[in-house]
Structure 1
Amino acid sequence: MATAPEEPSLKLGQLRLLLALDALLMEGSVSRAAERMGMGTPAMSRLLGQIREVYGDPIFIRSSRRLIPTPFAESMRQRIRALAAEAEALLRPQERTAANPTVDPASWSGSPVIEAAPLTTRPSVLLEGEPLPESFARKLAAIGKAEDARKRLAKHIATIGAGIGHSRPLTTGEAEDAFSTILDGEADPVQVGALLSLMHFRGETAAELAGFAQAAHAHIGQAELGSLSVDLDWPAYISPKSRRMPWFLQAALLLAQSGCRILLHGNDGGGNTRGSLLSAARAIGIPVCATPTAARDAIAERGIAYIPVAALSSQIHRLLSLYSVLETRSSINSLMPLLNPFGAPASMMGVVRPAYRDLHRDAGVILGRGNMTIFGTSRDAAEATPFRSSTLLRLVGGTAEDLFVSALPEPKAYPLTGMTSLEYWCAVWAGTIRDERATEIIVATAATGLLTFAGGQADRYEACRSRAREIWNARKKSVP
């Protein structure tokens, strides 16, 4: 039986998908591609869904800044651009009128005064001499055979930084190899800056963050530290520009008094926050430890410990210090919430930038994390904002779940009168000052910690809030 010819509308639809894919590859953004095509963003999103269905490929990987093409999409970029360019050329109006007849090139030939460079005269999808993706892949393969660590790292830099049509994100394994080279001190300093700057400018992917985390785990010896029996990992890498009081430390101590074993780790980072976490932790009796062994002993005795990242890895600490040199964040800052140095089964983290929250959760899935809660916060630590409606991104038993938390009425803030901010902060814990606003922040943070630690479903949140308030009212208020 003869096959029925395709409907014209189907053919037109397929051509539209290719033009939409070209716009997406050119712009790296659904909204900008929609603007390029003269359509709405929802319509472009639907076309992207159809493209994914046709090819059976994600087509793009989500990053913190833009859409990054998959290797399959990159392999089609040149052919699709050529098709789109030809379509544009065919539809471009031809300026041919009787008053303006066409020119016979042969009758006007002659020698130019100066030969123009190819870039100025030859519009082309591929510049003359530009390597095809296949050639670039062979080049990377040849570099990859080298045993020299710097050459291997150069391969990874070339993979992400060779330009449109010849670059792609690193896989988890590649990112792990690249960061391991840096952590082992085998990278040239120029390579370190190049890799981190390129990755952050383009936007990290979840696979890259997971690879960095795996390299960091191996570097600090997580396999050995994992026997320290920690229930909840609590990263606290505060921005140097932060001026807020660290109420989350009181929430952590509250949970430790209820039987949850907690590891806090962080970096004061300099600026306004230099030494602030250490001072606050010591002020209410949270042990500050200089070695993993000391942290193990403190957690066994007190249920909680704070350890600076410098005590875990001087190399990671030095990489974090690049902030003061570059005056901008790098992929190292993105890594720190995922560090989880003692391999706790649950973790709470604060992530400032909205696009990174999904990335950190996706990276958690790749890393096999069980229970995780990600706060959208104005600081790089897990602290609730109960007076603003918020959505907590979670992993519950390794499964993604969102928890919407409604806003509470905000009590009046208490003024600081006759005392320093640290003295006021300690007085709230000791109960000599009643600050309902601070109390709500502490209780909401502790409630989320209880929910995360237990791996509870969203419907358990209010019960955890009630339990957290009971623990707060019954806390041991003594300070050193």
Structure 2
Amino acid sequence: MALDVLLMEGSVSRAAERLGMSTPAMSRLLGQIRETYDDPIFIRSSRRLIPTPFAESIRQRLRAVAAEAEALFQSRQSVSGGVTIDPALWSGEPVIEAAPLTSRPSILLEGEPLPEAFARKLSVLGNAEDARKRLAKHIATAGAGIGNSRPLTITEAEDALSIILEGRADPVQVGALLSVMNFRGETAAELAGLVRAVRSHIRAADPATSPVDLDWPAYISPKSRRMPWFLQSALLLAGARYRILLHGSDGGGNTKGMLVSAARALGIPICASITAAMNAIAEHGIAYLPVAAMSSQVHRLLSLYGLFETRSPINSVMPLLNPLSAPSSMMGVVRPAYRELHRDAGVLLGYGDMTVLGTSRDAAEATPFRSSTLLRLSAGTTEDLFVPAVPEPKAYPLTGMTSLEYWRAVWTGTVRDERATTIICATAAIALLTLSGGKAGPLEVCQATAEGLWETRRKDVRIGTGMLCPAVKQT
């Protein structure tokens, strides 16, 4: 962890501050690292520490290990406090059936080559087909091994994923590209290119005619056992005449069908296409758009989690998708190292107002009971906003209700849950800050506004009755 932070900060003093250590202690630790690896690790310049070739060669592996450790720590934190879900009561069959992932017949590789040999073989695949050969070149560019590879450019990343989304890739190539990028870690340029490919594939709305004020991605981890309070925050803003698009995945495991069940419970329209979502928002001010309604290919790529047992770059793409090109977006990003990456990708994509939250799920929901930092982007300007923790109210066990009934009862006022209300209002406050481009005043002002909206909300659930809004589905 210490070497990972040193490589990111390029400064002993800043790394020490980040890890809560004294500068002399960090200097001693760096000395031990140098002795262990028998390498200087850094070369000092006038401005910062420059990693040696050896340090550069292990940077990505260190980042992967550190990110996994951070994720494990966060998952440990996320299970404490609050009411957890009963998966059986929230699950259900998907409302949108996605077609199988489309690909070309596989060209088998001989034996089981090492990654370097694998990349060389891929580079000569598909001589008879330009698209497959182009994809092979992209894989070889990114995965030929230390000293022989480099990150993809925006254009290369866009082209690579476009070939996959069009169903022209060899299935071996699909796994190879996603695995290589995931192992090395995506760059902001690669992530922006992947987002551009998916937006083109789903025919994202023209920003000039967007019918939405706020894009709210909700791609929940299959292992989550927490109630989706952020949906009530979104509904709160819709009641204040903000136009909100929720889009996400029903996931699998504990969360299969959770968002659909929750949307139905509060009457949020569930839409079968981008066109249907536009119509629902025009009529009701809010809609939930499952990823399968946008693209079967994207849905199936996300579903590869079960085969990889790890996240892929497609998971990183979805928070930035913004299918209706809303002027503002608010996203939750699980991995700490990826939060700044998403903001940097947002800059490259030309996004306007954006807020990235640290969260235990890939949905924008505040964590008010521990301090956090909001990564803001407004009109091309970046800002980090520190949010102090507030005292956590006591969580009470369920009494005579299922978890889904309890969750809905908080909205209708049948149940008073101070902890849940704090999460809902804190999340709505961040959304208000995002919607205003930071012009609504300090976060405390937005918090007071959100609390006022909660007290005056319409507690009877009508909205769009939570029914499926059919339309011609886009491929």
Deviation at 1:303, TM superposition (A): 0.6
For 1:49 and 1:172, the matched residues in 2 are separated by 31
2:408 corresponds to 1:411: no
| Greater RCO structure (CA 8 Å; 6+ sep) | 2
The answer as to 2:229 corresponding to 1:232 is: no
- Following superposition, the deviation at residue 171 of structure 1 comes to 0.7
Q: Which of residues 453, 456, 461 is equivalent to 1:474? A: 456
Task: Compute the displacement of 1:293 (Å).
Answer: 1.7
What corresponds to 2:430 in structure 1? 448
Q: Does 1:47 align with 2:44?
A: yes
After TM superposition, list the pairs within 5 Å mapping 1:326-475 onto structure 2. Answer: 326-456=308-438, 460-475=442-457
Q: Give the aligned residue type for 2:413.
A: G
CA distance in 1, matches of 2:36, 2:380: 38
Residues 1:199 and 2:184 are matched in the alignment: no
Q: 1:283 to 1:148 in 2, by over 3 A?
A: same
Question: Which structure has the larger Rg?
Answer: 1
The alpha carbon displacement at 1:39 in A equals: 11
Structure with the larger helix share? 1
Q: Could you tell me which residue of structure 1 aligns to residue 243 of structure 2?
A: 261
Looking at structure 1, the residues matched to 126 and 48 of structure 2 have their Cα atoms a distance apart, in angstroms, of 33
Name 1:296's counterpart in structure 2.
Answer: 278
For residue 221 of structure 1, the aligned residue among 188, 193, 203 is 203
Residues 146-183 of structure 1 show CA distances to partners (whole Å, capped at 9, x for unaligned) of: 96101000000000111111001101111001001101
| Structure 1 residues 436 and 48, CA gap change in structure 2 (3 angstroms) | farther
Partner of 1:181: 163
Q: What SS class does the counterpart of residue 264 from structure 1 fall into?
A: strand
CA distance in 2, matches of 1:468, 1:46: 50
Counterpart in 2 of 1:102? none
Q: Give the letter for the 2:363 counterpart.
A: A
Note if 1:277 corresponds to 2:274. no
Structure 1 376/451 Cα, relative in aligned 2: closer, same or farther at 3 Å? same
CA gap 1:430/1:470 in 2 versus in 1, 3 angstroms: same
- Tell me if the contact between 1:268 and 1:276 (Cα under 8 Å) persists in the aligned partners: yes
Give 1:101's aligned residue.
none
* CA contact 2:127–2:133 (8 Å) conserved in 1: no
CA distance in 2, matches of 1:395, 1:458: 15
> What one-letter code is carried by the residue in structure 2 that aligns with 1:348?
M
Contact 1:64 1:359 in 2 (8 A): no
Residues 54-81 of structure 1: CA deviation (Å, up to 9, x unaligned): xxxxx99x979649xxxxxxxxxxxxxx
**Length-normalised TM-score, structure 1:** 0.72
Question: Is the 1:63–1:204 contact (alpha carbons within 8 Å) kept by the matching residues of 2?
Answer: no
Shift of 1:260: 1.1
Equivalent runs, 1:131-142 vs 2, <5 Å: none
Contact 2:371 2:389 in 1 (8 A): yes
Hey, what's the Cα distance between the residues in 2 that align with 1:233 and 1:45?
42
CA pair 311-145 structure 1, distance change in 2 beyond 3 A: same
More displaced, 388-397 or 31-40? 31-40
- Cα deviation for residue 228 of structure 1 reads 4.1
Equivalent of 2:34, from 18, 37, 49? Answer: 37
Structure 1 CA distance for aligned equivalents of residues 370 and 449 of structure 2: 21
Question: Residue 275 of structure 2: SS of its match in structure 1?
Answer: helix
Q: Which residue of 2 aligns with 1:306?
A: 288
RMSD of the TM alignment (CA)? 3.2
Q: Tell which deviates more after alignment, 450-459 or 163-172.
A: 450-459
Aligned match for 1:287, one of 263, 269, 280 = 269
Distance in 1, matches of 2:350 and 2:61, equals 21
Measure the CA separation in 1 of the matches of 2:231 and 2:237: 10
User: TM-score, normalised to structure 2's length?
Assistant: 0.73
3-state SS of 1:472 partner: helix
Taking a change above 3 Å as real, the CA distance of residues 393 and 39 of structure 1, as seen in their structure-2 partners, is farther
**Is residue 351–residue 379 contact of structure 1 (8 Å, CA) maintained in 2?**
yes
Aligned partners of 2:249 and 2:267: how far apart in 1? 19
Greater displacement, 453-462 / 418-427? 453-462
Output the CA distance in 2 between the equivalents of 1:455 and 1:48: 38
Would the aligned equivalents of 2:207 and 2:326 in 1 still touch at CA under 8 Å? no
Which has the higher mean CA deviation after the structures are superposed, 219-228 or 378-387? 219-228
Structure 1 225/287 Cα, relative in aligned 2: closer, same or farther at 3 Å? farther
Give the Cα separation in 2 of the matches to 1:48 and 1:287: 57
**Candidates 115, 123, 139, aligned match of 1:157:** 139
Local SS of the residue matching 1:283:
helix
Contact 1:63 1:359 in 2 (8 A): no
Stretches of structure 1 that go unaligned for 5 or more consecutive residues are 1-19, 21-29, 54-58, 68-129
3-state SS, counterpart of residue 222 of structure 1: coil
Partner of 1:334, secondary structure, is: helix
Inter-CA distance 411–144: structure 2 relative to 1 (3 Å threshold): same
Report how many aligned residue pairs link the two structures: 377
CA deviation map 1:347-385 (0-9, x unaligned): 111111100101101101110111111111111100001
Amino acid at match of 1:168: R
Assess, with a 3 A threshold, how the Cα gap between structure 1 residues 188 and 259 changes in structure 2: closer, same or farther: same
SS at 1:239's partner residue?
coil
Q: Determine if contact 2:375/2:385 at 8 Å carries over to the other structure.
A: yes
Secondary structure, counterpart of 2:270 in structure 1 = coil
Paired-residue identity, %: 67
CA separation of 1:365 and 1:45: change in aligned 2, threshold 3 A: farther
Question: In the superposition, relative to structure 1, how do residues 49 and 319 fare at CA in structure 2: closer, same or farther (>3 Å)?
Answer: farther
Contact 2:440–2:446 under 8 Å retained in 1: no
Residue 148 of structure 2 corresponds to 166
> How far 1:38 sits from its partner (Å)?
4.6
- The verdict on how the C-alpha distance between 1:48 and 1:415 changes in structure 2, with shifts beyond 3 A counting, is farther
Structure 2 CA distance for partners of 1:33 and 1:408, relative to 1, 3 Å: closer
Change (3 A) 1:334 1:344: same
Change (3 A) 1:64 1:363: farther
Q: Is the 8 A contact 2:126 2:132 kept in 1?
A: no
Distance of 2:239 and 2:187 partners within structure 1: 38
Counterparts of 2:253 and 2:313, CA distance in 1: 20
- Taking the aligned partners of 1:33 and 1:164, their CA distance within structure 2 comes to 24
